[in-house]
Amino acid sequence: MPTFCAGESGKSTIVKQMKIIHQDGYTKEECLAFISIINGNILQSILAIIRAMSTIGIDYGDSANAEAGRQLFNLVDSVEEGTMPKELVDVIKKLWTDSGVQACFERAAEYQLNDSASYYLNNLDRITAAGYVPNEQDVLRSRVKTTGIIEEQFSCQDLHFRMFDVGGQRSERKKWIHCFEGVTCIIFCGALSAYDMVLVEDDEVTVVFSEHLGFSLYQALLALVFPAFA
């Protein structure tokens, strides 16, 4: 049972949900392994917002926070990937409370921003506290680009399922054909929040609706799917 659609449409989230519902969720060790991913998501989110402020033309609510913005970019170059030192946490907190940053966040449909940005940034104190162990919601909301093909197996009543998660970016779609042998079900995913968002890899094509030039993806999918079920 493969899950298909564009990148960041929720394919991997569905697979995670199946693990939580049908496989007793994630162990503590598995949850701890998500800390670096979550830290990376937080950093990517605040960087995306600050960069977008310049593109969109939004000023800081407090002009003094422009220095915090510069400090953020300086710190990013010096911290180890996946870590969140206190100095960086303090800068992110300061920026996230700025009214200009919040105004830019409200216009997130105009640029690429992780759907979980506000969730993680609003929970920054808990996530960066000593001894933090990600909960299921933290894990579920984490975002990492899927590459290749990932398989999960689970049982529901008397049925055994094999679910395959695939990368959604264009560079990954050529691998989808390898998922079709013996397939009995295909799940097409579409994020409700993506109705007016463009693809990460092509800002001229929207994620969802064919009326907005996204039709080529779905034509390509149908060309792959129908022969497999013929």
Known binding positions:
8-13, 115-116, 140-146, 165-169
3-state secondary structure of 187: strand
CA-to-CA distance for 156 and 150, rounded, in angstroms? 20
13, 128, 173, 206: the catalytic one is: 13
169, 170, 172, 202: the catalytic one is: 169
Known binding positions for GTP:
8-13, 115-116, 140-146, 165-169
Provide φ and ψ at 159, rounded to 5°. -105, 140
Which tokens go with 50?
A: 């600050």
Write the CB contacts of 28 (distance below 8 Å, at least 6 apart in sequence): 133
162 is catalytic: no
128, 165, 173, 206: the catalytic one is: 165
Known binding positions for Mg(2+):
12, 146
CA-to-CA distance for 141 and 59, rounded, in angstroms? 29
169 is catalytic: yes
136 is catalytic: no
13 is catalytic: yes
CA-to-CA distance for 45 and 117, rounded, in angstroms? 6
3-state secondary structure labels for all residues of 70-104: HHHHHHHCCCCCCCCCHHHHHHHHHHHCCHHHHHH
Rama region for 66: left / alpha / beta (φ>0; ψ in -120 to 50; rest) = alpha
143 is catalytic: yes
CA-to-CA distance for 26 and 105, rounded, in angstroms? 31
CA-to-CA distance for 4 and 180, rounded, in angstroms? 12
The residues annotated as belonging to the active site are 8, 13, 143, 165, 169
